[in-house]
């Protein structure tokens, strides 16, 4: 078990409701620095909402979130944080979306350097050097001057990863990063993510790619109905799940594997 002192992400007592629907019910979770955690679970289990709470794209109703050395406390008695502290907090976490969400009115390089220039306030030259080196890392430096519309899905997602990395975040969050891709394009994105994990990036991954979770994540968190049902080392949870819900969820995967 990681201790809260060395954890990069520390979540305590997190709750979130959308109207009458309680999506997250008392979530406690830690991710150690350099750790890779996969969030698994059926759709509607709350895993995407939990991920979006980690960079406060979704603001929780109650609980505490710490990423790095920034802590936010939520509850009926605490005021909702203002837009400036929220933005500053988000600038230190990178997020990759299912639908890429690249900016279509900018070139690939402009996509990558937009936030470094306007949020981190780097000068243009430094930002371009940084942006090109990130594009290099995902193997798309030669596409820098193209529009995102001209790229394949896999290339778009790699640009989105480079764009997030250009903020030099302490944590990367992946929200079903391969779910919108044609099957033959999934590999290149997973490979980029695997490389990132090998480089020591702290990562939280919401995914349906069970085999990838087993091979790349060091821990797996299985969620259902807004609860963490089971948590442990990736190989253990996926190969020998203890809880009935986890077994049921993974049975399709195991059938396919055998």
Closest approach of other proteins to the CB of residue 193, in Å = 17
CB of 116 to other proteins, least distance (A): 9
Toward other proteins, which CB reaches closer, 160 or 250?
A: 160
Judged by CB under 8 A, which of 80, 84, 121, 125 binds other proteins? 84
- Hey, how many other C-beta atoms are within 10 angstroms of the C-beta on 190? 20
- Candidates 82, 94, 91, 174; CA nearest to 72 is 82
Q: How far apart are CA 45 and CA 57, in angstroms?
A: 18
Which positions from 126 to 155 touch other proteins by CB under 8 A, shown as an x/- string? ------------------------------
For 136, list phi and psi in degrees, rounded to 5: -55, -45
Q: Of the listed pieces 94-102, 198-206, 223-231, 238-246, which binds other proteins according to CB under 8 A?
A: 94-102
34-42, 159-167, 191-199, 217-225 -> range binding other proteins (CB under 8 A): 159-167
11-19, 24-32, 103-111, 186-194 -> range binding other proteins (CB under 8 A): 103-111
Out of 156, 163, 214, 224, which residue is the one contacting other proteins (CB under 8 A)? 163
Binding mask of the shown chain, residues 13 to 52, with x at each position contacting other proteins by CB under 8 A? ----------------------------------------
Chain residues 189-248 in contact with other proteins, contact rule CB under 8 A: none
The two three-digit tokens of residue 249, written as one number: 């969820």
- Quick one: CA dihedral 32, 34, 35, 40, positive or negative? positive
Judge contact between 178 and 189, C-beta under 8 A.
yes
Comparing CB distances to other proteins, the nearer of 97 and 227 is: 97
184-189 contacts at long range (C-beta below 8 A, 24 or more positions apart): 185/152, 185/153, 185/154, 186/154, 187/154, 188/154, 188/155, 188/158, 189/154, 189/157, 189/158, 189/161
Phi-psi region of 192 (alpha: psi -120 to 50; beta: other; left: phi over 0): alpha
List binders of other proteins among 108-127 (CB under 8 A).
114-115, 118-120
Based on CB atoms, which residue is closest to other proteins, 19 or 256?
Answer: 19
CA distance linking residue 253 with residue 250, whole number of Å: 5
Binding site for other proteins (CB under 8 A): 55, 57, 83-84, 87-95, 97, 99, 101-105, 114-115, 118-120, 160, 163-164, 167
């Amino acid at each position: 078990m990681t201790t809260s002192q060395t954890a990069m992400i520390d979540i305590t007592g997190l709750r979130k409701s959308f109207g009458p629907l309680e999506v997250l019910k008392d979530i406690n979770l830690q991710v150690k620095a350099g750790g890779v955690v996969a969030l698994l679970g059926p759709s509607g289990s709350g895993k995407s909402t939990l991920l979006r709470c980690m960079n406060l794209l979704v603001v929780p109703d109650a609980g505490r979130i710490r990423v790095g050395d920034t802590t936010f406390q939520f509850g009926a008695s605490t005021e909702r944080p203002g837009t400036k502290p929220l933005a500053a907090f988000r600038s230190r976490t990178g997020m990759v979306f299912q639908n890429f969400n690249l900016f279509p009115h900018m070139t690939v390089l402009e996509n990558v350097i937009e936030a470094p220039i306007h949020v981190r306030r780097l000068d243009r030259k430094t930002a371009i050097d940084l942006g090109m080196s990130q594009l290099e890392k995902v193997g798309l430096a030669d596409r820098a001057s193209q529009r995102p519309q001209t790229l394949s899905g896999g290339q778009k997602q790699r640009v989105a990863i480079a764009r997030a990395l250009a903020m030099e975040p302490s944590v990367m969050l992946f929200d079903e990063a391969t779910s919108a891709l044609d099957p033959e394009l999934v590999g290149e994105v997973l490979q980029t993510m695997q490389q990132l994990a090998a480089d020591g990036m702290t990562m939280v991954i919401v995914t349906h790619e069970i085999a990838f979770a087993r091979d790349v994540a060091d821990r797996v968190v299985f969620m259902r109905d807004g609860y963490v049902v089971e948590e442990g080392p990736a190989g253990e949870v996926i190969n020998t799940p203890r809880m009935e819900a986890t077994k049921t969820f993974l049975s399709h995967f195991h059938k396919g594997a055998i």
